[in-house]
Chains A and B, each alone.
Chain A
Amino acid sequence: MNIFVFVKRVPDTESKIRIAPDGKKIIEEDLNFVLSPFDEYAVEEALQLRATHEGKVTVFSVGTEESLTILKKCLAMGANEAVLLKDDAIETYDGLRTAKIITQALKEKFSDYDLLLFGKQSVGADNAQVPSMVAELLGLPQVNVVTKLEINGANGVAHREIEGALEKASFSLPAVISAQKGLNEPRYETLKGIMMAKRKEIPAVTVQDLGLGEEDLSLNLILMKIESPPPRKAGTIVEGEASETTKKLVNFLREEAKVI
């Protein structure tokens, strides 16, 4: 089975986000960038599927050369190959742009796949758009926010999280699956994996190589500004006997929040 996994480099979740003076981007200095947490589940699932079904795992990332570090991490976790889909644009928050780059790469250069795995969303842009868009542009089945995946021959069954329940969906390969926490426990890189990843060449394919021009990638979604959320004001803090403090809390819930 030929499995492709799509990953993104993002600031880790402990990061404080500062906004650049132009109000159009975040300040990247001093941020610690990592493999997006939901993508880790996608990589792990690919490795587990390879263990039972044999085949190959190839990891792709759309981004600048800085994304090589997360591709190295995926190789160190055990992926066979990695490819950088080189796009020097700064974060656009436009999922369609990314989906078009991926789709074009798959159509033009990497057409041999059975399964396309993604994280359910990148941590940061928080769009949750690219997997569905790639599925549509390639005419493939999609199951998003998956917590359980089984592949049997040319077919698969996935459990997808919805509000308070799970949807059990069936599909045929090739298909697009996006991973949710709970799907598996991502492994750590091994020392041997890290050494092997170091020696591995990661080819880069630019958006120009893919024949994508400005027109194809022009933005439909225009970022006007980024701002900090309004700060919350600190409220009442009480201390003392629980019987007293909870009376005040119930009073707060009734008088101020008006929820009881």
Chain B
Amino acid sequence: MILVFMEVREGKIKKSSFEVLSEGWRRANELGTEVNAVLAGGNVEGLASSTFQYGASRAYVLEHNLLSKYSSSGFAQALFSLVQEIQPGIILLSATAMGKDLAPRLAAKLGVSMASDCTRTEVHDGTFSVVRPIFAGKALATFTFQSSPQIATLRPNVFPLNEPIEKQGEVIRKEVILTEEQIRARVEEILKEEGAELDVTEAEIVVSGGRGMKSPENFGLLKELTSIIPHSAIGASRAAVDSGWIDHQHQVGQTGKTVSPNVYMAFGISGAIQHMAGMASSKYIVAVNKDPEAPIFKVCDFGIVGDLFQVIPSLKEELKIFQRD
């Protein structure tokens, strides 16, 4: 059995968890087994049945007031008890902030190794394997597992969502036994900026600026683009972040975030190797740079050799015309 952890934030299951469930369903079919979902939190039962349309046969519900806020130790303990009982062969989580925090704690509790941030899963002759980028994608490594359960986190935005199917499933509540002492680090509150934008790892289109942006004010130009492009977020190169033009949360690259959007648009980014490592798995790359020799032109799908300060306003107009039509 494949067990998929469904992450709930702000009363909703994250899209990336459905991506993982979709992948789990595909592999479960190849392995001749079933995929099941697990939800944990203070009040999550109402969300459980939404997992059936992505292939889950059963949705386990772990509810406890001590799980109403995320804690790695509390969630790991609750999952651990379930895993001990139902013995899944494979456990998959999304490689989100929560998944990256929780999966290794759970793996260590179970005494098994795990694979982080995978971009492919495969079944060959009944054996499950995963492919994960190392060196931020400068190389790809394939792993199999020696121990059970086999645990992997899967990168958001990489695995396709299945078409929802008509499927009946079973919601199973499990008693959770937790004490205050088992909650080791507790989340007191979530600090969210007013009008906080979409995170760069979750965006479908990333509009990114580099050294060529020249000043912090000019990042406002990118903001104008993201305000008219749905599901977009602002990215940045290390040069722009280290110059203090924009917060490091936006940094894409080997010491920033690794992103796989549908389209990555690089403005004034030459394409340093550490930057390209962080965005090379994007489906399409667009580059705008005035230097025709910039290395980014060797990897982009569509490039404009030109002045970004002319291209951006013009692009904005073209997009507006297009949206109006």
A and B pair up: yes
Q: Are A143 and B145 in contact (CB under 8 A)?
A: no
Q: Are A94 and B113 in contact (CB under 8 A)?
A: yes
Q: Are B146 and A219 in contact (CB under 8 A)?
A: yes
Asked if B272 is at the interface of the complex by the 8 Å CB criterion, the answer is yes
Q: Report which of A95, A130, A228, A242 forms a contact with B306, defined as CB distance below 8 A.
A: A242
Q: Are B305 and A237 in contact (CB under 8 A)?
A: yes
Contacts of B299 in A (CB 8 A): 232, 234
Asked if B263 is at the interface of the complex by the 8 Å CB criterion, the answer is yes
Asked if B300 is at the interface of the complex by the 8 Å CB criterion, the answer is yes
Contacts of B301 in A (CB 8 A): 232-233, 235-236, 252, 256-257
The digit string for B199-213, where 1 denotes a CB below 8 A from any CB of A, is: 101101100000000
Given contact pairs A233-B301, A242-B307, enumerate 18 new A-B contacts (beta carbons under 8 Å): A19-B139, A126-B116, A126-B117, A126-B135, A129-B103, A131-B104, A141-B184, A162-B190, A164-B199, A167-B191, A175-B185, A222-B145, A224-B142, A229-B138, A238-B302, A240-B306, A246-B314, A250-B315
Asked if A38 is at the interface of the complex by the 8 Å CB criterion, the answer is yes
Q: Are B190 and A132 in contact (CB under 8 A)?
A: no
CB-nearest residue of chain A relative to B76? A136
Contacts of A232 in B (CB 8 A): 280, 285, 299-301
- A–B Cβ pairs within 8 angstroms, 28 of them: A14-B273, A95-B104, A123-B135, A123-B136, A123-B255, A128-B116, A129-B107, A130-B104, A132-B104, A135-B105, A135-B184, A137-B108, A140-B184, A145-B97, A162-B96, A163-B201, A170-B185, A221-B115, A223-B143, A224-B142, A226-B141, A232-B280, A232-B300, A236-B302, A237-B303, A237-B304, A240-B306, A247-B318
Contacts of A167 in B (CB 8 A): 70, 187, 189-191
Asked if A17 is at the interface of the complex by the 8 Å CB criterion, the answer is yes
Given contacts A17-B139, A220-B146, whether A159 and B248 have CB atoms under 8 Å apart is no
Q: Report which of A38, A165, A257, A259 forms a contact with B191, defined as CB distance below 8 A.
A: A165
Asked if B214 is at the interface of the complex by the 8 Å CB criterion, the answer is no
Contacts of B90 in A (CB 8 A): none
Asked if B123 is at the interface of the complex by the 8 Å CB criterion, the answer is no
Q: Are A162 and B139 in contact (CB under 8 A)?
A: no
Given contacts A95-B104, A224-B142, whether A165 and B255 have CB atoms under 8 Å apart is no
Contacts of B186 in A (CB 8 A): 169-171
What bracket does the count of chain B residues touching chain A fall in?
35 or more
Given contacts A123-B254, A133-B105, A229-B140, whether A257 and B322 have CB atoms under 8 Å apart is no
Asked if A56 is at the interface of the complex by the 8 Å CB criterion, the answer is no
Contacts of B185 in A (CB 8 A): 141-143, 158, 169-171, 175
Q: Report which of B108, B136, B199 forms a contact with A163, defined as CB distance below 8 A.
A: B199
Asked if B112 is at the interface of the complex by the 8 Å CB criterion, the answer is yes
Q: Are B263 and A165 in contact (CB under 8 A)?
A: no
Given contacts A162-B98, A163-B96, whether A237 and B297 have CB atoms under 8 Å apart is yes
The residues in B between 2 and 24 inclusive whose CB is less than 8 angstroms from any CB of A are 9
Asked if A78 is at the interface of the complex by the 8 Å CB criterion, the answer is no
The digit string for A51-69, where 1 denotes a CB below 8 A from any CB of B, is: 0000000000000000000
Asked if B159 is at the interface of the complex by the 8 Å CB criterion, the answer is no
Contacts of A132 in B (CB 8 A): 72, 101-105, 108
Total A-B residue contacts, Cβ distance less than 8 Å: 299
Asked if A33 is at the interface of the complex by the 8 Å CB criterion, the answer is no
CB-nearest residue of chain A relative to B202? A163
Q: Are A99 and B139 in contact (CB under 8 A)?
A: no
Asked if A161 is at the interface of the complex by the 8 Å CB criterion, the answer is yes
A220 to B111, CA, bound (A): 10
Given contacts A132-B101, A235-B302, whether A16 and B138 have CB atoms under 8 Å apart is yes
Asked if B172 is at the interface of the complex by the 8 Å CB criterion, the answer is no
Q: Are A129 and B116 in contact (CB under 8 A)?
A: yes
Asked if B215 is at the interface of the complex by the 8 Å CB criterion, the answer is no
A247 to B323, CA, bound (A): 13
The residues in B between 227 and 267 inclusive whose CB is less than 8 angstroms from any CB of A are 229, 247-249, 251, 253-256, 258, 262-263
Chain A interface (Cβ < 8 Å from any Cβ of B):
11, 13-17, 19, 26, 37-38, 93-97, 99, 123-137, 139-145, 157-171, 175, 180-182, 218-229, 232-240, 242-243, 245-250, 252-254, 256-257, 259-260
Given contacts A126-B134, A132-B105, A228-B139, whether A250 and B322 have CB atoms under 8 Å apart is yes
Q: Are B311 and A169 in contact (CB under 8 A)?
A: no
The digit string for B305-325, where 1 denotes a CB below 8 A from any CB of A, is: 111001101110111001100
CB-nearest residue of chain B relative to A24? B141
Contacts of A170 in B (CB 8 A): 185-186, 188
A9 to B96, CA, bound (A): 26
Contacts of B174 in A (CB 8 A): none
Say how far B116's CB is from chain A's closest CB, in angstroms: 5
Say how far A224's CB is from chain B's closest CB, in angstroms: 4
Contacts of A163 in B (CB 8 A): 9, 96-97, 199, 201-202
Contacts of B105 in A (CB 8 A): 132-133, 135-136, 142
Q: Are A225 and B76 in contact (CB under 8 A)?
A: no
CB-nearest residue of chain B relative to A167? B187
Asked if B198 is at the interface of the complex by the 8 Å CB criterion, the answer is yes
The residues in B between 119 and 144 inclusive whose CB is less than 8 angstroms from any CB of A are 129, 132-144
Q: Are A238 and B136 in contact (CB under 8 A)?
A: no
